[in-house]
């Protein structure tokens, strides 16, 4: 699959990766959540070329993740602010943080700790079910074919997908999820 075509896949992971799937983009988004807004600050923190940073910021603006806001008219200076769509990436960043803290932190010491403002306690991000609020665990989730994939499969040019292991797995998703 070509990188340019990944945005057209009937998969939310692939479509999301088409926007945030490279390291520099994720690091720009991380820095936005840490309060960075100005081009020079991004460049200083990330130690990335001006060309590469300009490209990533432009793409994030074009995709509606960031908005470019003039903060001084005198010298036409801009800052980059997360949009609502961008703020919705926070759980993804926090999931990466949690994994990194568990598996990549030096001597088990996370580089940044997070405090939940409402209760004042240090916290770790946990995914939970939107319906019962139980913590989500991989072996207790059953993926099923949704309306977006059903629609995609109606197009005859996508018939080849029916032969993939992933599609066959989804077709059989009524089986016990613990048998994986």
Q: Which residue has the higher pLDDT, 63 or 6?
A: 63
Where do you find CATH 1.10.10.10 in the chain? 3-87
Q: What average pLDDT does range 123-134 have in this prediction?
A: 94
DSSP string, the chain: --GGGGGGSS-HHHHHHHHH-SHHHHHHHHHHHTT--SHHHHHHHHT--HHHHHHHHHHHHHTTSEEEEEEETTTTEEEEEE-HHHHTTHHHHHHHHHHHHHHTSGGG--SS-EEETTTTEEE----B-TTT-PBP-GGG------HHHHHHHTSGGGGGGGGSHHHHHHHTTTS-GGG-
Residue 180, pLDDT > 50, answer: no
Q: What is the pLDDT of residues 29-80, one digit of tens each?
A: 999 999 999 999 999 999 999 999 999 999 999 999 999 999 877 777 899 9
Q: What is the pLDDT of residues 89-100, one digit of tens each?
A: 999 999 999 999
Q: Where does 3-87 sit in CATH, by number?
A: 1.10.10.10
Entry pTM: 0.82
């Amino acid at each position: 699959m070509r990188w340019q075509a990944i945005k057209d896949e009937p998969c939310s992971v692939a479509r999301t990766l088409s926007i945030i799937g490279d390291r520099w983009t994720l690091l720009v988004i991380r820095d936005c959540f840490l309060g960075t807004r100005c081009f020079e600050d991004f460049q200083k923190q990330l130690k990335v070329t001006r060309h590469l940073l300009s490209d990533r910021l432009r793409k994030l603006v074009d995709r509606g993740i960031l908005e470019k806001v003039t903060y001084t008219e005198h010298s036409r200076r801009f800052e980059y602010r997360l949009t609502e769509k961008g703020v919705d990436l926070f759980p993804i960043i926090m999931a990466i943080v949690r994994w990194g803290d568990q598996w990549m932190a030096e001597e088990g010491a996370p580089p940044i700790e997070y405090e939940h403002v409402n209760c004042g306690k240090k916290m770790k991000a946990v995914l939970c079910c939107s319906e019962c609020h139980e913590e989500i665990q991989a072996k207790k989730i059953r993926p099923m074919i949704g309306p977006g994939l059903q629609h995609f499969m109606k197009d005859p040019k996508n018939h080849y997908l029916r032969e993939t292991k992933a599609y066959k797995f989804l077709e059989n998703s009524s089986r016990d999820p613990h048998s994986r």
